[in-house]
A = this chain, B = another copy of it.
Amino acid sequence: MALDLAYTPAQQRFRSEVRDWLAAHVPQAPLATLESEAGFAQHREWERTLAMGNYGMITWPAEYGGRGANLIDWLIFEEEYYRARAPLRVNQNGIFLLGPTLMEFGTAAQKARYLPKMAAGEEIWAQAWSEPQAGSDLAALRATAVRDGDSYVLRGHKIWSSRAAFADWAFGIFRTDPASERHRGLTFMLVPLRHPGVRVRGIRQIHGEPGFAEIFFEDARVPLDHRLGDEGQGWHIAMATAGFERGLMLRSPARFQVAAQRLIDLWRSHGAEADPALLGRVAQGWMDAQAYALNTYRTASRLMAGGSIGVEASLNKIFWSELDLDLHRTAMSLLGARAELVSAGAPGPADDWLEGFLFSLAGPIYAGTNEIQRNVIAERLLELPRA
User: Which residues of A pack against B, CB within 8 Å?
Assistant: 275-277, 279-281, 387
7 shortest interchain CB distances as A-B pairs: A277-B280, A276-B276, A277-B277, A275-B280, A276-B279, A276-B277, A276-B280
- How many protomers of this protein does the assembly include? 2
A279 to B279, CA, bound (A): 12
* Interchain Cβ contacts under 8 Å between A and B, 8 examples: A275-B280, A276-B277, A277-B277, A277-B279, A277-B280, A277-B281, A280-B280, A387-B387
Residues of B within 8 A of A276 (CB): 276-277, 279-280
Shortest distance between the CB of A385 and any CB in chain B (Å): 15
A387 to B387, CA, bound (A): 10
Central interface residue in A275, A277, A280, A281, by most chain B CB within 10 Å: A277
Residues of B within 8 A of A387 (CB): 387
Residues of B within 8 A of A279 (CB): 276-277
Q: Is the interface of A mostly helix, strand, loop or mixed?
A: helix
Residues of B within 8 A of A280 (CB): 275-277, 280
Residues of B within 8 A of A277 (CB): 276-277, 279-281
Shortest distance between the CB of A137 and any CB in chain B (Å): 16
For the A-B complex with A275-B280, A387-B387 known, give 9 more contacts whose Cβ atoms are closer than 8 Å: A276-B276, A276-B277, A276-B279, A276-B280, A277-B277, A277-B279, A277-B280, A277-B281, A280-B280
A387 to B386, CA, bound (A): 14
| Residue ID in chain B nearest A279 by CB atoms | B276
A279 to B387, CA, bound (A): 42
Residues of B within 8 A of A281 (CB): 277
A279 to B280, CA, bound (A): 11
| Residue ID in chain B nearest A284 by CB atoms | B277
| Residue ID in chain B nearest A387 by CB atoms | B387
A276 to B271, CA, bound (A): 13
| Residue ID in chain B nearest A281 by CB atoms | B277
Shortest distance between the CB of A40 and any CB in chain B (Å): 41
Shortest distance between the CB of A273 and any CB in chain B (Å): 14
A280 to B279, CA, bound (A): 11
Shortest distance between the CB of A310 and any CB in chain B (Å): 28
A83 to B170, CA, bound (A): 69
Residues of B within 8 A of A275 (CB): 280
Shortest distance between the CB of A319 and any CB in chain B (Å): 21
